[in-house]
A = this chain, B = another copy of it.
Amino acid sequence: MQMKPINISEKFKLFNEHWTPKKIGELNGQQLLLAKLKGEFIWHSHENEDELFMIIKGSLIIEFRDKTIELNEGEIYIIPKGEEHKPIAKEEVHVLLFEPLAIKHTGDITSELTVKTFQNI
């Protein structure tokens, strides 16, 4: 349990990898992750978990099978469980993710981008 203030900007200084979420907190069976994104991720879905994206810096495109959205700084999007999505970051994007502890990074798909255990920072 995180028992001191978590400074989002300071936490983002602790890593530079893309598409490798870092865990900054846990509560109620959920986790709070930070990630830096750049380039195209893979199509995937999370069968049982809704996933929240909050944009801290930059602009993120998320492709769905039936639409494409663009999220800008200060915007939030909740991806319903089961919905296939593909995030695309033309320039580096900083995001905060909120999702269940049980979630798998790329759902039932495994790729070279898949992270099995999210590192605590």
Contacts and interface: CB of A to CB of B under 8 A. Distances in A.
Interface in A1-50: 1-9, 24-28, 30, 32, 49-50
Contact of A25 (B28, B69, B71, B78): B78
Interface in A48-83: 49-52, 69, 71, 74-78, 80
B5 A32 contact: no
Contacts of A76: 5-6, 8, 24-25, 32
A40 to B, nearest CB: 20
A99 interface: yes
A80 B25 contact: no
Contact of A6 (B2, B75, B99): B75
Given A28-B99, A98-B98, A7 B78 contact: no
Interface centre among A3, A24, A50, A78 (most CB of B within 10 A): A78
9 contacts: A1-B78, A1-B80, A3-B80, A5-B71, A5-B76, A6-B76, A8-B75, A28-B49, A30-B30
